[in-house]
Amino acid sequence: MLMQIKNVRKQFNGVDVLKNVNVDVQKGDVIVILGPSGSGKTTFLRCLNFLEQADEGTMQFDTLHLDLSHTSSSDIAKVRKKTAFVFQNYNLFANKTALENVTLGLTAGRHVGKSEALAIGRQALDKVGLSDRYDYYPAQLSGGQQQRVGIARAIAVKPDVILFDEPTSALDPELIGEVLRVMKKLAEEGTTMIVVTHEMKFAQDVATHVIFMDGGVIVEEGAAEDIFVHPKHDRTKMFLKRILPCGGICEEYECR
């Protein structure tokens, strides 16, 4: 088991945003988290990367056993070296060009040589279709371009685990396809991923495990087929019904 996350609880101003969340992640897994707006998806990912301190919860990562509510900074550093985060609002470094955004994690974070980092960085940007925007600053990029830089930044450092928070929200359907293809490729290469997304197609195609959250708890989880084809809970059924082609019961993926 690569990651075992247990019993995560998180409050904001006394309101529970996450309650007793448990997730097991095997190496190479692609875990998709679905759920309505405000259900705690982002908060959960942030807790995993210690950007938010959980009030309770443990995480076993590789050989590390961590208490999410008070983790030593050296442990945090270890986990972060092996993970990367794609932010819902991109959070590109405003003072760095697209290429610098992508290479920084290599040169500063991983002591990769400058020219090698540049090569890797260019490659990553090329993958997401930004070969003509290397030297643009974030303020000069369109929404979709910024989002893709964010993705390139995360994949460039070749982490063991990537946490994606709605990585295709600002993209047009054409590009969504491209980006999902890149992600699929990563999955095939064995990168472990936890992905918050509303792209059902991607979930159906790639997810090894689907989690449906609502109100800070995991309502239902299971293999993609199970969740999409035979959801058990009413809440899940309702959610899926509205959004899947053919009213939620859709065995023929091609339809979409």
Partner 1 sequence: MDLDLDFMYETFFKILGGISTTLELTILSLLLAAPIAFYMAVLRLNDAKISSGAVRVYVSFVRGTPIILQILLLYSLLPSVLNTIVQTLGINFNVFDAIDPFFYAVVVFSLNTIALLSEVFRSALISISKGQLEAGLSIGLTRFQVYIHVIIPQAMVVALPNICNITVNLIKGTSLAFLMTVKDVLAIGKIAASFGYNYIEAYIDVFFVYIILCTIIQVLYTAAESKISTFRAMHV
Partner 2 sequence: MNYRPFDPSFLLQSIPALLPYLQITLFVGISSIVFGSIFGILLAKAKLSSIGPLRWLAQGYTYVMRCTPSIVLLFIVFYGLPKLVDGLFNYQIDDWDRSVFAIITLVLLFGAYVSEVFRSAYLAVPRGQYEAAVSIGLTPLQAVIQVVIPQAMIIALPNFGNSVINLLKEGALAYTIGLIDLIGKGNLIISQNFGAYAIEIYLACMFIYWVMALLIEKVFFIIEKRLDKGQTLKTVQTVKQDKKRARLFLIKGVKFHGPGS
Ligand X SMILES: Nc1ncnc2c1ncn2[C@@H]1O[C@H](COP(=O)(O)OP(=O)(O)OP(=O)(O)O)[C@@H](O)[C@H]1O
63 or 95: CB nearest partner 1: 95
Among 26, 53, 131, 142, binds its own copies (CB under 8 A): 142
Stretch touching partner 1 by CB under 8 A, among 49-57, 63-71, 205-213, 243-251: 49-57
Phi and psi for 4 in degrees, rounded to 5? Answer: -130, 115
Nearest-CA neighbor of 28 among 186, 197, 181? 186
- The CB-of-55 to its own copies minimum distance in angstroms stands at 16
Instruction: Give the CA count within 13 Å in the CB-facing half-sphere of 187.
Output: 23
Segment interacting with its own copies (CB under 8 A) among 19-27, 62-70, 78-86, 235-243: 235-243
Query: Footprint of ligand X on this chain (CB under 6 A)?
Result: 12-13, 17, 35, 37-43, 88, 136, 140-145, 170, 172
Q: In angstroms, what CA-CA distances link 152 with 67, 86, 139, 239?
A: 30, 9, 17, 31
Answer yes or no whether residue 110 interacts with partner 1 by CB under 8 A. Answer: yes
3-state secondary structure of 45: helix
Q: Does the protein bind partner 1 through residue 139 (CB under 8 A)? A: yes
Q: Choose between 217 and 249: whose C-beta lies nearer to ligand X.
A: 217
Tokens of 162: 């990537």
With CB under 8 A as the contact rule, the residue among 102, 170, 186, 195 that binds its own copies is 170
From 38, 64, 109, 185, residue interacting with partner 1 (rule: CB under 8 A) = 109
For every residue of 67-97, DSSP letters joined together read: ETTS--HHHHHHHHHHEEEE-TT----TTS-
Is residue 245 close enough to count as binding partner 1 by CB under 8 A? no
Distance between CA atoms of 8 and 23, rounded to whole angstroms? 9
Neighbouring CB atoms inside 10 A of 58's CB total: 17
Report H helices in the chain: 41-48, 73-82, 98-110, 114-127, 143-156, 173-188, 200-206, 224-229, 234-243
Task: Indicate which of its own copies, partner 1, Mg ion, none lies near residue 91 (CB less than 5 to 8 Å, by partner kind).
Answer: partner 1
Sheet with strand 64-67: strands edge to edge: 15-25, 3-12, 56-61, 64-67
The item of partner 1, Mg ion, ligand X, none sharing an interface with residue 145, based on CB under 5 to 8 Å by kind, is: ligand X
In terms of phi and psi (left: phi > 0; alpha: psi -120 to 50; beta: otherwise), the region of 83 is beta
Residues 6 or more apart in contact with residue 20 via CB below 8 angstroms: 7, 8, 9, 217
Q: Which residues bind partner 2 (CB under 8 A)?
A: 49, 51, 53, 55, 58, 67, 69-70, 73, 77, 80-81, 83-85, 87, 89, 91-96, 104-105, 108-110, 137-140, 153-154, 157, 159
Residues that bind its own copies (CB under 8 A): 12, 34-38, 42-43, 88-89, 129, 133, 140-145, 148, 165-166, 169-177, 198, 200, 238-239, 242-243, 245-246, 255-256
Residues that bind partner 1 (CB under 8 A): 49-52, 77, 80-85, 87, 89, 91-96, 104-105, 108-110, 137-140, 153-154, 157, 159
Residues that bind Mg ion (CB under 5 A): 42, 88, 142-143
